[in-house]
Amino acid sequence: MKGQRYIRGGHDLSKRLYLISLGAVAIFLIILSRLWFLQFIEVGRLREMSENNRLRFIPVAASRGVLLDRNSKIIVNNTPSFSLAVVPNEVKDKDYLLNNLSRVLMIEKSELLARWERVKGRAKYFPVVLASGLTRDQVEYFEENSLRLSGLEIEVKPVREYPEGMLASHLLGYIAEVSEKELEVPDYSDFNPGDYIGKNGIERSYEKYLHGEDGGRQIEVDARGRFLRVMNETLPVPGQSLVLTIDSDLQKSTEKALGDKAAAAVVVDVNSGEILSFASSPGFDPALFTRRLSPEQWASYVEDKRNPLENKAIRGQYPPGSTFKIVTALAGLSEGLIDEKTEVNCTGEYKLGNGTFRCWSKKGHGRVNLKTALRESCDVYFYALGEKLGVDKIALYARKFGLGEPTGIGMDGEKSGFVPTSEWKEKKTGIKWFRGETLPVSIGQGYLTATPVQLAAMTSGLATSGKIYRPFIVKKILDHEGKTAKEFSPEIMKTIDIKPEHFRLVREGLLAVVNEPHGTGAAARLYEVKVAGKTGTSQVVKMNDRKQAVAYKNRDHALFVAFAPFDKPEIAVSVVVEHGEHGGGSAASVAGQILRKYFELKGVIKRPSTDSEDESSDDEPEGDAE
Amino acid sequence: MIDRRLFTSFDWKVLLLILLITAVGILNIYSASASYRVVGTPYALKQFYWSVIGIGLILMICSIDYHILEDVSYWCYGTIIVFLLLVLVAGKTSMGATRWLNLGLFTMQPSEPMKIVIIITLARYFTRNQMPGLLGIKGISIPLLILLLPAALIVKQPDLGTAIMVCLVAATIMVAVGIRWSVILSLVLTSLPLIVIAWNFLLHTYQKNRILNFLNPERDPLKSGYHLIQSKIAVGSGGIFGKGFMHGTQTQLRFLPEQHTDFAFSVFAEEWGLLGSVIVLILYLALVLWGLHVASRCNDRFGTLLAVGVTAMLFWHIVINMGMVIGLFPVVGVPLPFFSYGGTSMITSMVGAGILLNISMRRFMF
């Protein structure tokens, strides 16, 4: 075996290997002769090019596209920032220079010296930044005295400016220096260390539109490094600007309604998929990231339990709780397992095998039908329905509403949520799906999770009787002259094959949730516009483990989804308040405030509101009070 | 199992040669990155860590008989092909380009091990399917398929440099096996229309620009053309004796692009001049000739072809990188073995060296 295996006969190749060796030597000789040509024959010319007429390449960054809201109001802008750098090799009198700088910049001499020395041991030809954010006067002074103060360079860089402060920070994202890893990717091949790129949110996802093309100047400098003339110039092409779908006024109200809670809210136009408002709370200050975060600032963000850096609207995956009853109800109707008259007697608990599943109301709801079960969010009704449907039917309908997959909103990092099936569990754990596990899923608990943006899309599908538009955030791309370069049109993401009358029945249930006595979502009621919605409470810790006062981290999440107006739906809203206890309280009132603002902006509701019963009316100190 | 002859026939001098090149490389990276704003560990130190890992790999490889590679070659080939497909489907995409695959614990770039795996696979194929006489169209059809499948997947990523490298290495192995002139001619003729197709459909704009700028540097004197011009100025201005360590003005003023990676030799040539460059060139030539020597004195065909392939891999990296730096070739992202900064390149080169040393020390066994 062995003899046959290692076939002998390397030797028959040795003649060719000899020729290959000769070939290798020949190619090395070509390289050698080229080196000799460059370094021996051409050395004079090339050394002159490198020494006397120093060419310098000064990159000129393209101004980054700005971000506008749907009403063309600027929410992210650029502003030039001047910084002062020194080229140590070209300084004649260091002490004199430092005294001068200290006086003009109003920075201690010792501090300037420390900044200077930071680069000790490295090349003396490379400019060291001593101060940034110079005033116009300071820039003028240095330019006028450039002969006296040799070795100084003024660098101009456009930096991001945020006229609206922290507004929509997660949606917009921030920009910062390109990292080493990013530089290895070929599409970043035109970037250099020190360039700024979008790191998050729209700034990242739309980098290629926003960035523009950097230009540069090839300049000739004299032996001291002073500018002589421009040899060659490529003008930068400014980046394209984006018109977003969001309404900054509505966005502001949304963030105000969320306050400093760990929460998220999404408002979507049900007839197009345009995101009108997109908030994750608490926010962060994008301006801090542009100017390099101090370690303390970074720590304060990272250590905050409310997770300010996380974009909860697309990355927060929460059990949808009772808001999911919308899907369970439609599945039951569509499968013919229930109709509007089907009744279930809720005694406060539901028995299945050895298990007892509780309704949130201990004393029970008595006899309930679809509408009252939705209105009062009776769990027992949906346990009974869920048992008949089975988990796989529920999963089928959940997917029809876009759960379990990213919506494709157009931002990096969107999570998909999760829709469990019996096959998934068996594959993962090897254990069969128990019927008892279906019951929590039918009321939106258990393994089921969804992101706030998915919940908004799901609700829009109910509002439109089965047509879900893909949520999107960028309406138009404008070139640097302000002309429309690209316009994004609505795209249908899901068409749900459920009969319109079934949708109508569930919608009516949701109307009752907000507007009828015993409804759980009264906090979202508006008197001028009919609002329909559904509360949800998603358990963080199991019921039986509960004590009277539950620690913050174990408190339930509060959810609320809504659409309005009831008769001709325009918008859908989803709100998740982490550890907000009951959906009927905190989340519904947030949704109510958002909806009120929307209809105020449309002129449907006059402001200020005279509604004393609505919780949201007292925190809008508008100027034109009677 | 452990034969004493294994120790006595280990090529200590060649290991020293490799360590010498690596050490010069680290020194050069120190100078090349002197003007960088340092974030974290300096490049030179990181390169040192990589070289230590690489030497460990050499010793590990030498302790195993290289014939194992023959048995596992097709498995390796299949696995890497699957990884390459996975990269296209599920790789880490950042702004359009996809080269990395997340394997849970770590991310990998499967096009890099393909350089070695294609050598092992072809060596096995030509060992097991020996034919009398020179290779004709028929004899070359299967090896071509073995080559073109990964090459196409790598171009698609897109990673032109690695794809070219894989093709050159495979071509060298075929030439060593022996191939008819008529076949070479017809391959060249059929590849012309393929190039036209590749130009129009496969190549990305940035790749096309690099080639166009090479043919006419004035086309874009500020960007890629600028890099070529500046690299030539750097090399040429070094003259015979060079400007001295840490004193290359082109380098320290950062005229050079990627001066610690692909253009590292340009830095060296500027600071050490013709003298230094020729010494490094001679070290590399010695390594290549030794590799071919290992191939010709090896007693089994698999070992011979393996040695040819690995030597070809090192050789083409050296030639294409240096050719680029001195303006003979367009700018393709190919690192200089043992010399350019980068863990991936260092590991591949060291693994190659390990295989060569392995073949050399086992020459008496068969």
Reply yes or no on whether the pLDDT at A613 is more than 50.
no
SS3 B237: helix
pLDDT for the residue numbered B214: 61
Return the minimum-mean-pLDDT range out of A8-17, A269-278, B155-164, B314-323: A8-17
SS (H, E, C) A329-366: HHHHHHCCCCCCCCCEEECCEEEECCEEEECCCCCCCE
φ/ψ of residue A129, rounded to 5: -75, 125
Across A34-44, average pLDDT = 92
Q: Which of B176, B278, B288 sits opposite A35 (nearest CB)?
A: B278
- Residue type present at position A411: M
- 8 A C-beta contact, residue A189 and residue B158: no
Strand partners, A227: A221
Across A289-295, average pLDDT = 72
pLDDT in tens, A407-420: 999 888 899 999 99
Q: How far apart are the first and last CA of chain B?
A: 14
- Residue type present at position A625: A
Reply yes or no on whether the pLDDT at B251 is more than 90.
no
pTM of this structure:
0.60
Which residues in chain B have their CB less than 8 angstroms from residue A216's CB? 222-223
- Min Cα distance B145 → chain A (Å) is 23
- Min Cα distance A207 → chain B (Å) is 9
- 8 A C-beta contact, residue A415 and residue A317: yes
Reply yes or no on whether the pLDDT at A345 is more than 80.
yes
pLDDT for the residue numbered A224: 54
Give me chain A's average pLDDT, please: 85
Residues with Cβ < 8 Å from A604, sequence gap 6 or more? A528, A529
- Min Cα distance A430 → chain B (Å) is 22
* DSSP secondary structure code for residue A90 in this structure: G
Q: Is B237 in contact with A51 (Cβ distance < 8 A)? A: yes
- 8 A C-beta contact, residue A215 and residue A235: yes
3-state helix, strand, coil in chain A (%, to 5): 40, 20, 40
Q: Is B176 in contact with A17 (Cβ distance < 8 A)? A: yes
Identify the residue among B301, B314, B321 best suited for mutation to test binding to A, counting A beta carbons within 10 A and taking the highest: B301
- Min Cα distance B203 → chain A (Å) is 12
Percent of chain B with pLDDT over 70: 85
- Residue type present at position A479: D
Q: How many CB atoms lie within 10 A of CB A424?
A: 16
Strands A344-346 and A241-244: unpaired
Which residues in chain A have their CB less than 8 angstroms from residue B236's CB? 38-39, 42-43, 45-47
φ/ψ bin of B349: left (φ > 0), alpha (ψ from -120 to 50), beta (otherwise): alpha
pLDDT in tens, A588-602: 999 999 999 999 999
Q: How many helices (H) and strands (E) does chain A have?
A: 23, 23
CA–CA distance, B199 with B220 (Å, rounded to integer): 19
Please check whether residue B71 touches A, CB under 8 A: no
Q: Is B315 in contact with A24 (Cβ distance < 8 A)? A: yes
pLDDT in tens, A393-439: 999 999 999 999 999 998 888 999 999 999 999 999 889 998 889 99
Confidence of residue A52 (pLDDT cuts 50, 70, 90): low
Return the minimum-mean-pLDDT range out of A172-181, A571-580, B165-174, B329-338: A172-181
ipTM for the predicted complex: 0.91
Please check whether residue B235 touches A, CB under 8 A: yes
Q: Give the chain B residue whose CA is nearest to the CA of A45.
A: B237
Q: Is A10 in contact with B296 (Cβ distance < 8 A)? A: yes
pLDDT for the residue numbered B131: 78
Rounded to the nearest 10 degrees, the angle between the axes of helix B264-297 and helix B343-361 is: 20
- Min Cα distance B26 → chain A (Å) is 16
The b/e string for B199-231 (b: 16+ C-beta within 10 A; e otherwise) is eeebbbeebebbeebbeebeebbbbbbbbbbbb
Run of H or E residues at A17 = helix A14-36
Please check whether residue B232 touches A, CB under 8 A: yes
Give me chain B's average pLDDT, please: 85
Per the listing, tokens 């130190």 go with B45
Q: How far apart are the first and last CA of chain A?
A: 103
Whole-Å CA distances, B188 to A12, B182, B193: 26, 10, 10
Rounded to the nearest 10 degrees, the angle between the axes of helix B111-128 and helix B67-90 is: 140
Strand residue runs (E) in A482-621: 484-487, 492-495, 532-538, 557-564, 571-577
Reply yes or no on whether the pLDDT at B222 is more than 60.
no
Which residues in chain B have their CB less than 8 angstroms from residue A219's CB? none
Q: Is A28 in contact with B304 (Cβ distance < 8 A)? A: no
Q: Which of residues 152-171 of B touch A (CB under 8 A)?
A: 158-159
- Min Cα distance A9 → chain B (Å) is 5
Whole-Å CA distances, A168 to A177, A246, A398: 21, 9, 29
Whole-Å CA distances, A549 to A260, A554, B136, B195, B270: 22, 10, 84, 73, 73
Identify the residue among B108, B253, B281 best suited for mutation to test binding to A, counting A beta carbons within 10 A and taking the highest: B253
- 8 A C-beta contact, residue A535 and residue A359: no
- Min Cα distance B52 → chain A (Å) is 22
Rounded to the nearest 10 degrees, the angle between the axes of helix B137-156 and helix B67-90 is: 40
Q: Is A21 in contact with B308 (Cβ distance < 8 A)? A: no
Strands A67-68 and A241-244: parallel
- 8 A C-beta contact, residue A57 and residue B325: no
Q: Is A31 in contact with B323 (Cβ distance < 8 A)? A: yes
- 8 A C-beta contact, residue A303 and residue A292: no
CA–CA distance, A574 with A268 (Å, rounded to integer): 9
- 8 A C-beta contact, residue B111 and residue A224: no
pLDDT in tens, A480-520: 888 898 899 999 999 999 999 999 999 999 999 999 988 88
pLDDT in tens, A190-246: 676 667 888 889 999 998 899 888 777 777 765 555 667 776 777 888 899 999 999
Please check whether residue B31 touches A, CB under 8 A: no
- 8 A C-beta contact, residue A626 and residue A609: no
Return the minimum-mean-pLDDT range out of A453-467, A475-489, B101-115: B101-115
CA–CA distance, B43 with B49 (Å, rounded to integer): 10
Q: Which of B235, B305, B323 sits opposite A39 (nearest CB)?
A: B235
Strand partners, A570: none
B357 vs B111, higher pLDDT:
B357
pLDDT for the residue numbered A254: 95
Reply yes or no on whether the pLDDT at A1 is more than 80.
no
Reply yes or no on whether the pLDDT at B181 is more than 50.
yes
pLDDT for the residue numbered A157: 76
Kindly state the tokens that stand for A518.
């015993």
Percent of chain A with pLDDT over 90: 49
Reply yes or no on whether the pLDDT at B218 is more than 70.
no
Q: How many helices (H) and strands (E) does chain B have?
A: 14, 3
Which residues in chain B have their CB less than 8 angstroms from residue A18's CB? 296
Q: Which of A13, A17, A39 sits opposite B274 (nearest CB)?
A: A39
Strand residue runs (E) in A364-473: 366-368, 467-469
pLDDT in tens, B258-313: 778 888 999 999 999 999 999 999 999 999 999 999 999 888 899 999 999 999 99
Kindly state the tokens that stand for A79.
């502003």
CA–CA distance, A310 with A300 (Å, rounded to integer): 14
Percent of chain B with pLDDT over 90: 46
Sign of torsion, CA B309 B310 B315 B320?
positive
A8 vs A365, higher pLDDT:
A365
Q: Is B130 in contact with A13 (Cβ distance < 8 A)? A: no
Asked if residue B158 has a cis previous peptide bond (ω within 30° of 0), the answer is yes
Across B310-335, average pLDDT = 90
Strands A128-132 and A366-368: unpaired
Catalytic residues of A: 322
Please check whether residue B236 touches A, CB under 8 A: yes
CA–CA distance, B219 with B330 (Å, rounded to integer): 13
Q: Is A232 in contact with B239 (Cβ distance < 8 A)? A: no
CA atoms within 13 A on the CB side of A169: 19
CA–CA distance, A246 with A164 (Å, rounded to integer): 13
Kindly state the tokens that stand for B1.
């199992």
pLDDT for the residue numbered B96: 43
Please check whether residue B202 touches A, CB under 8 A: no
Identify the residue among A18, A50, A183 best suited for mutation to test binding to B, counting B beta carbons within 10 A and taking the highest: A50
Alpha-carbon dihedral angle through residues B44, B48, B51, B56, given to the nearest 10 degrees? -170
- 8 A C-beta contact, residue A424 and residue A437: no
Which residues in chain A have their CB less than 8 angstroms from residue B238's CB? 39, 43
Confidence of residue B233 (pLDDT cuts 50, 70, 90): confident
Identify the residue among A13, A183, A233 best suited for mutation to test binding to B, counting B beta carbons within 10 A and taking the highest: A13
Which residues in chain A have their CB less than 8 angstroms from residue B246's CB? 123
Nearest C-alpha neighbor of A588 from the set A548, A624, A556, A558? A558
Q: Helices marked H in A447-583 — which ranges?
A: 452-463, 500-515
User: Residue B106: is it exposed, middle or buried by C-beta count within 10 angstroms (0-12/13-18/19+)?
Assistant: exposed
CA–CA distance, A549 with B59 (Å, rounded to integer): 63
CA atoms within 13 A on the CB side of A532: 27
